[in-house]
Structure 1
């Protein structure tokens, strides 16, 4: 890692996702598994919005209903048999990709499935086949939903690490070989320069990379 590479990365970040224009300079929803699941569901094919609109408004309504912290999926799973009530609480009738059901119902069903698989709180979340299957078996949810869910809680999948690595590769000279470890070091150094946590910077970049892939149709 060189100072020049860090500088290149900082300049690229400032140009591509400036802090005054990119809404994702946050750590996600650490230690709030309910918020992470709501975010993963309601950000699919939707405008993320401001704190008073879009995904964050949905989470805000749930927070007002529940209080804090939002770290017990059991609270969402209670609506699995009566999703209409959850729709009313969240104030959102959007449907999942494929139009199978509402996002609210899918969230409630996923919460019940995850609890049954042994994951109720953020401290119990892990990126493994059992929990991944518990979520992606819900109609309208898939691998992208799972990735978004776990990243919000501070876990990174192989897919999300690749997105971060690709971003660093784009930022530095093309002839530089950027390993995953080097990417992490450069991102950590850049986070210090931006006076944010490494988790905050990684989350902002990961959201940016996902948005870029949607624009290009890549997966």
Structure 2
């Protein structure tokens, strides 16, 4: 069943959707691996987003009824996603799997998740909306879990994924086998810490926030 959200992608997000050569490939006619299938993952890979990076403050939450989001994606080939680009659009969302959680439970979360829940609780963002996404290629190259935190259900109900863009990304990392092993790191607040341990300064497309291909200056 199609979601009405599929019609609200903006021009600003056009360059973030799947490139034509990827979308022309056959789409999956079988279910992708379950998100909690450990065999579908190598490490933890995550994008963190908020309305106005570099980070979300308590003042913004109280004055604007703001939100904070984490896109956690699993893949067994991060370098491939670096070479081909990390692309997703509304077509990748498994709408019927989504739900809103009134009070996040900490007992079944991993340490990184508990850390983020503690941060969200401190900001008063105690409610969570969950989305699940998957790659449409055969076989699927990745699965993802998008968690959006807010103080009120109304903020979550009004959330529209078509309004998200790279401008909302304030941090990203990839390839964490544990909390000390990274192959990619981006923090909008600390540019001196950025690195790609595999491809250095190679421009990457889609939702990778850095590096990006430099625009040619007009003469």
Task: Provide the TM-score with structure 2 as the length reference.
Answer: 0.26
TM-score, normalised with respect to structure 1: 0.26
User: Which structure: greater helix fraction?
Assistant: 1
